[in-house]
Homo-oligomer: A and B are copies of this chain.
Amino acid sequence: MAENAVFVGNKPVMNYVLAVLTQFNSGATEVAIKARGKAISRAVDVAEIVRKRFLPDVDVKDIKISTEQVSGEQGTANVSAIEIVLYRK
């Protein structure tokens, strides 16, 4: 099964909430919310808003944190990442 994922960046929180809602409303049973660096806080906001305000039958299945290596102009840097998997009960 193809994984449904939403990558959270610097846009307003509601953009990503809408993206998650759209995936669930298209029949997805699981949606992964992914983010790196400072966007991690926003990813948690997205997950909380989806399940508390819009889809009470959606809950957190799993949360993973990791470290990713990002190559930039000044060499390689380590950046933290999060993946929050939501599922429809």
Interface residues of A (CB under 8 A from B): 37-41, 44-45, 47-48, 52, 60, 63-67, 78, 80-82, 84
The answer to whether B65 touches A84, judged by C-beta atoms less than 8 angstroms apart, is: yes
Shortest 3 CB-CB contacts between residues of A and residues of B: A40-B41, A63-B63, A44-B80
Return chain B residues, CB-CB under 8 Å to A66: 48
- Copies of this protein in the complex: 2
Query: In the complex, what's the smallest C-beta–C-beta distance from A68 to chain B, in angstroms?
Result: 10
27 sample A-B contacts, Cβ–Cβ < 8 Å, listed by A number: A37-B41, A38-B38, A38-B41, A39-B41, A40-B40, A40-B41, A40-B44, A41-B41, A41-B80, A44-B65, A44-B80, A44-B81, A44-B82, A45-B80, A47-B65, A48-B65, A48-B66, A48-B67, A48-B78, A48-B80, A52-B67, A52-B78, A60-B65, A63-B63, A63-B64, A63-B65, A65-B84
